[in-house]
Chain A
Amino acid sequence: MKYYDKLVFELSKEGRTGYSLPVNKFPQAPELPVQLRRESPLRLPQVSEPDVVRHYTNLSQMNFGVDTGFYPLGSCTMKYNPKINEEMAALQGFAGLHPLMHAGLTKGALKVYQEMNKALAAITGMYAFTFDPCAGAHGELTGLMIMRQYHMNRGDLKRTKVIVPDSAHGTNPASAAVCGLEVVEVKSLENGRIDVEALKPLLTDEVAGIMMTNPNTLGLFETQIKEIAALVHAAGGLLYYDGANMNPLMGVVRPGDMGFDIMHLNLHKTFSTPHGGGGPGSGPVGVAKHLEDCLGEIRVSGFHGNFGVILRAYAYILSLGNQHIRKVGQYSVLSANYIKECLKDVYKLPIEGVCKHEFVFDGLVNDGAHDDVPGATTLDVAKRLLDYGFHAPTIYFPLLFHQALMIEPTETESLETLDSFIAVMRKIAAEAAEDPEILRQAPHNAPITRPDETMAARNPVLKYEW
């Protein structure tokens, strides 16, 4: 990766063009009335096609992706993105479909939705899915709308609270707030699981439900899920499953069987579609049979969701089939536990025991702090990893630990890759103990060094001035 400093505007030259359009063979239409016309000049870049290609190719070379190297970003499930899926989604018979074409013209697309619905139901134990949500957080919001709609349909209007564990993904409380629900936090125990005794008094007749991810954000299975489900249901609430952590359960455990009533999946995590630097994703929402009626009442996107992403995920599911799906869950858990066991002597492991697809370290055992020299933090470890050609884990999340390093390797990494990551993590730990300043100044080999984020926030420069 090398630093490249241009912006496309800086390549612009008056009169240069990069477009190819047909000759206009039509009579000239009447001009728009003057008061409806754009007055300000249209300042777009004026660049040739080769300029554009080279510019964006250069930009791409400052980026790290799954195809570049290991990406152990906790809760993000950065698995390999199969290439056949890309080709299938680009087929003209799908890419050229107008979203308002009636069913008679889109039989192939509708078949994809039907078969995806069946496949996801089989994988999760839910009854039916909506594919409208475009991302995980969008799915959460949709799922909570369904939860509220269910209570409204029963005339139970006072259920306006939702219980969220303190280890929840940050989106959970935000989604609840956007949906008009009041968040009630339930604490975790020392062992990282929900405190069932603390949950009990919270389950009033104002509670619409609980949002959980299982395994939770510490990568730990909520062993008391059966009891929790029984308690919530007895109190008239519903259980929402945040599918961000579904990967370890693939082929092994189904959220529907654990008593969850509503869930979303992140097709861009568990189902291998590329994350695209921040989307497009897809967050289909599944419901148990008794909530089926609520599905149709919620409209959260313009047409049919991110069809192009759904196509990719479907191609992936077909490649797994009944035979391979179990390996996805098992191997992702195997990889996570292997890394954990190989590193827990040099990074603090707050909670022992078998983890699922991810686990959390609470910083270095020896951060190198001595006398007046401050120690290396989790941020420093993360930045130093970049020097060695790895993406950093998720850092400072979950909020339960001050120096959280959340590592999720996924099932598509080889033992050799895991071993080289482990070796580098050990080397970084040794560097920290000896001279934490090396870490504090990292990265040294990336296209840029650490940027001044305070300046960016105090004096926002959010667009190119020309």
Chain B
Amino acid sequence: MSKILEGLKYSESHEWVKAEGDIAVVGVSDFAQEEMGDITYVDLPEVDDEVTAGEEFGALESVKASSDLISPVSGTVVEVNADLEDAPEKVNEDAFGNWIIKVKMSDPSELDALLDAAAYKALIGE
């Protein structure tokens, strides 16, 4: 059974968001990393890239699959987790401890449309 952290927001495409002021810290859920299996590469955006809620900003790759990362919020990328470039396995090891991007949100109200932990738990059927 995969881990779900209380107090975070979740998207239906299995990203989590932690709001820190107008900055959204974005990663993928434990469920997502389990589904992917061994992650071999994290395709990251660049700092200053614009992201849009519901649109892809990067991808997770495994040996036989590529899965788009969908941004839960809109805004500008202010930081990417460069550690993941050389150590993609960190996402497998701790999906919540290893964020992927930080976004300066242009519309923090978009957070309200996301799922809370209970709703996400229901979504993945656990």
* Complex alpha-carbon distance, A457 and B41, angstroms: 8
For the complex, would chain B's binding face be called helix, strand, loop or mixed by DSSP majority?
mixed
Q: A458 an interface residue at 8 Å Cβ cutoff?
A: yes
- Chain A residues whose C-beta falls within 8 Å of the C-beta of B89 in the assembled complex: 458
Those of A216-231 within 8 Å (CB) of chain B:
none
Q: B88 an interface residue at 8 Å Cβ cutoff?
A: yes
Q: Chain A: which residue is nearest B37 at the CB level? A: A454
- Chain B residues whose C-beta falls within 8 Å of the C-beta of A456 in the assembled complex: 63
Q: Chain B: which residue is nearest A396 at the CB level? A: B64
Q: How far is the CB of A382 from chain B (nearest CB, A)?
A: 14
Q: A352 an interface residue at 8 Å Cβ cutoff?
A: no
- Chain A residues whose C-beta falls within 8 Å of the C-beta of B40 in the assembled complex: 454, 457-458
Q: B116 an interface residue at 8 Å Cβ cutoff?
A: no
Those of B27-58 within 8 Å (CB) of chain A:
38, 40-41
Q: B61 an interface residue at 8 Å Cβ cutoff?
A: yes
* Complex alpha-carbon distance, A214 and B38, angstroms: 37
Q: How far is the CB of A304 from chain B (nearest CB, A)?
A: 36
Q: How far is the CB of B30 from chain A (nearest CB, A)?
A: 19
Q: How far is the CB of B55 from chain A (nearest CB, A)?
A: 16
Q: A453 an interface residue at 8 Å Cβ cutoff?
A: yes
Tally of chain B residues near chain A (CB < 8 A)? 9
Q: How far is the CB of A462 from chain B (nearest CB, A)?
A: 14
The range of chain A's interface size is under 10
- Chain B residues whose C-beta falls within 8 Å of the C-beta of A454 in the assembled complex: 38, 40, 62-63
The 0/1 profile, CB within 8 Å of B marked 1, for residues 102-134 of chain A is 000000000000000000000000000000000
* Complex alpha-carbon distance, A162 and B89, angstroms: 38
Q: Chain A: which residue is nearest B88 at the CB level? A: A458
- Chain B residues whose C-beta falls within 8 Å of the C-beta of A453 in the assembled complex: 63
- Chain A residues whose C-beta falls within 8 Å of the C-beta of B88 in the assembled complex: 458
- Chain B residues whose C-beta falls within 8 Å of the C-beta of A457 in the assembled complex: 40-41, 61-63
- Chain A residues whose C-beta falls within 8 Å of the C-beta of B64 in the assembled complex: 396
* Complex alpha-carbon distance, A78 and B13, angstroms: 40
Q: Chain A: which residue is nearest B63 at the CB level? A: A453
The 0/1 profile, CB within 8 Å of B marked 1, for residues 388-418 of chain A is 0000000010000000000000000000000
- Chain B residues whose C-beta falls within 8 Å of the C-beta of A458 in the assembled complex: 38, 40-41, 88-89
* Complex alpha-carbon distance, A396 and B63, angstroms: 14
The 0/1 profile, CB within 8 Å of B marked 1, for residues 440-466 of chain A is 000000000000011011100000000
* Complex alpha-carbon distance, A458 and B93, angstroms: 15
* Complex alpha-carbon distance, A454 and B88, angstroms: 11
Q: How far is the CB of A457 from chain B (nearest CB, A)?
A: 4
Q: Chain A: which residue is nearest B87 at the CB level? A: A458
Q: Chain B: which residue is nearest A458 at the CB level? A: B40
* Complex alpha-carbon distance, A457 and B42, angstroms: 12
* Complex alpha-carbon distance, A457 and B66, angstroms: 13
* Complex alpha-carbon distance, A396 and B38, angstroms: 18
* Complex alpha-carbon distance, A393 and B61, angstroms: 25
* Complex alpha-carbon distance, A188 and B61, angstroms: 28
* Complex alpha-carbon distance, A333 and B64, angstroms: 31
* Complex alpha-carbon distance, A456 and B62, angstroms: 11
The 0/1 profile, CB within 8 Å of A marked 1, for residues 52-89 of chain B is 00000000011110000000000000000000000011
- Chain A residues whose C-beta falls within 8 Å of the C-beta of B62 in the assembled complex: 454, 457
Q: How far is the CB of A244 from chain B (nearest CB, A)?
A: 21
Q: How far is the CB of B13 from chain A (nearest CB, A)?
A: 19
Q: How far is the CB of B84 from chain A (nearest CB, A)?
A: 11
Seen from chain A, the residues whose Cβ lies within 8 Å of a Cβ on chain B are 396, 453-454, 456-458
In the assembled complex, 13 residue pairs joining A and B whose CB atoms fall closer than 8 Å, in A order, are A396-B64, A453-B63, A454-B40, A454-B63, A456-B63, A457-B40, A457-B61, A457-B62, A457-B63, A458-B38, A458-B40, A458-B41, A458-B89
Other A-B contacts than A457-B61, A458-B40, A458-B41, 14 sampled, CB-CB below 8 A, are A396-B64, A453-B63, A454-B38, A454-B40, A454-B62, A454-B63, A456-B63, A457-B40, A457-B41, A457-B62, A457-B63, A458-B38, A458-B88, A458-B89
Nearest first, the 10 closest Cβ-Cβ pairs linking A and B are: A457-B40, A454-B38, A453-B63, A458-B40, A457-B63, A454-B63, A454-B40, A458-B88, A458-B89, A457-B41
